[in-house]
């Protein structure tokens, strides 16, 4: 009995020592650059969250936060040295690059999550209101707000939230939802798997998802053809009165409905409708492989 108790105490002590050997550390890198309106922020990271907001003036403020958890204290410096960071200015453009060196790819390949979750990265950037974005990320959520400029981006895996934009948007994620609110310009988005919601858009819309619902609210007359397509999910458009389009809606397996008096046709579960709204205009094409296609009044 006494030997068992001593053995138990020894195990607890060893566990405590092992736990104590693990440490956490926060590291922040900050840079500020003088720029002119109309430049471009280029971000290329293997993973991590990205947040872009605007400020008054002609400066770009970059803050890169690195958090390390459950790493032996003696290894933290080595761990950070494996993570390469470049923050620099090229003319009127700001470039932010971050990735692990090739030696670390075995535990974290670009854009794919493995068991090693000891490292977290957050990139926070403040830019002038008139600025452009070009983003490439392996994995991580993206938030962009209050910008006058074009937005381009491809995310391997992560959610995307964008709001209050004047300019074009061309962005996609391999897996994750996309939510865009208040855009005066054209929108092109794609998700490998995830819902897409676009509210208060004043331009043409191209939206595609292999699996997920698509919901779009059109508040201004489109300046080009729009196409919304889901392999598996509902496709719904809410449209303001007075907007003129030529609508074509079809589902291979599901139902169809229109609040603008279109006749629903089809056999069995394949339904469709088409026709002009307010005399016709740019094309509005809705398609769902499996799901409902709907045109509603906003």
196-241 per-position pLDDT tens digit: 999 988 889 999 999 999 999 999 999 899 999 999 999 999 999 9
CA 254 vs. chain centroid, Å, equals 29
Domain extent, residue 274, equals: 178-298
Mean pLDDT of the chain: 88
If you average pLDDT over residues 72-89, what whole number do you get? 81
H helix or E strand, kind and range, residue 84: strand 83-90
Report phi then psi at 161, rounded to 5. Answer: -130, 125
**Residue among 86, 74, 69 at smallest CA distance from 25:** 69
45 and 131 together in one domain: yes
Tokens (6 digits) for 173: 């994620």
Domain boundary pick from 127, 158, 189: 158
The reply to whether 189 and 123 lie within a common domain is: no
Stated as kind and residue range, the H or E segment containing 286 is strand 283-290
CA pseudo-torsion sign 124, 127, 130, 135: negative
168 belongs to a structural domain: no
Whose CA is closest to 164, among 149, 151, 178, 146? 146
Residue-level pLDDT at 109: 42
Residue 170 included in any domain = no
Residue 201 lies in a domain: yes
pLDDT given at position 173: 97
Based on the domain organization, do 223 and 257 belong to the same domain? Answer: yes
């Amino acid at each position: 009995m006494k030997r068992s108790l001593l053995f138990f105490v020894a195990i607890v002590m060893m566990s405590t020592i092992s736990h104590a050997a693990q440490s956490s550390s926060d590291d922040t890198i900050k840079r500020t650059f003088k720029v002119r309106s109309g430049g471009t922020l280029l971000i290329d990271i293997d993973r991590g969250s990205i947040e872009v907001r605007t400020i008054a003036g002609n400066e770009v403020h970059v803050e890169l936060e690195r958090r390390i958890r459950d790493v032996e204290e003696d290894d933290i410096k080595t761990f950070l040295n494996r993570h390469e960071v470049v923050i620099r200015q090229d003319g009127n453009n700001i470039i932010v690059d971050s990735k692990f060196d090739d030696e670390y790819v075995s535990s974290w390949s670009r854009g794919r999550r493995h068991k090693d979750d000891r490292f977290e990265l957050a990139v926070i950037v403040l830019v002038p209101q008139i600025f452009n974005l070009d983003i490439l990320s392996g994995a991580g959520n993206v938030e962009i707000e209050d910008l006058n400029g074009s937005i381009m981006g491809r995310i391997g895996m992560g959610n995307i939230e964008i709001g209050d934009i004047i300019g074009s948007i061309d962005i996609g994620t391999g897996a994750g939802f996309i939510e865009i609110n208040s855009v005066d310009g054209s929108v092109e988005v794609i998700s490998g798997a995830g819902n897409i919601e676009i509210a208060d858009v004043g331009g043409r819309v191209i939206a595609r998802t292999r699996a997920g619902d698509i919901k779009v609210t059109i508040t201004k007359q489109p300046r080009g053809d729009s196409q919304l397509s889901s392999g598996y999910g509902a496709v719904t458009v809410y449209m303001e009165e007075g907007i003129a389009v030529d609508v074509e809606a079809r589902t291979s397996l599901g139902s169809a409905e229109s609040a603008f008096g279109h006749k629903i046709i089809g056999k069995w579960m394949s339904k469709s409708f088409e026709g002009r709204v307010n005399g016709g205009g740019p094309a509005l094409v809705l398609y769902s492989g499996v799901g409902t296609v709907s045109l509603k009044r906003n």
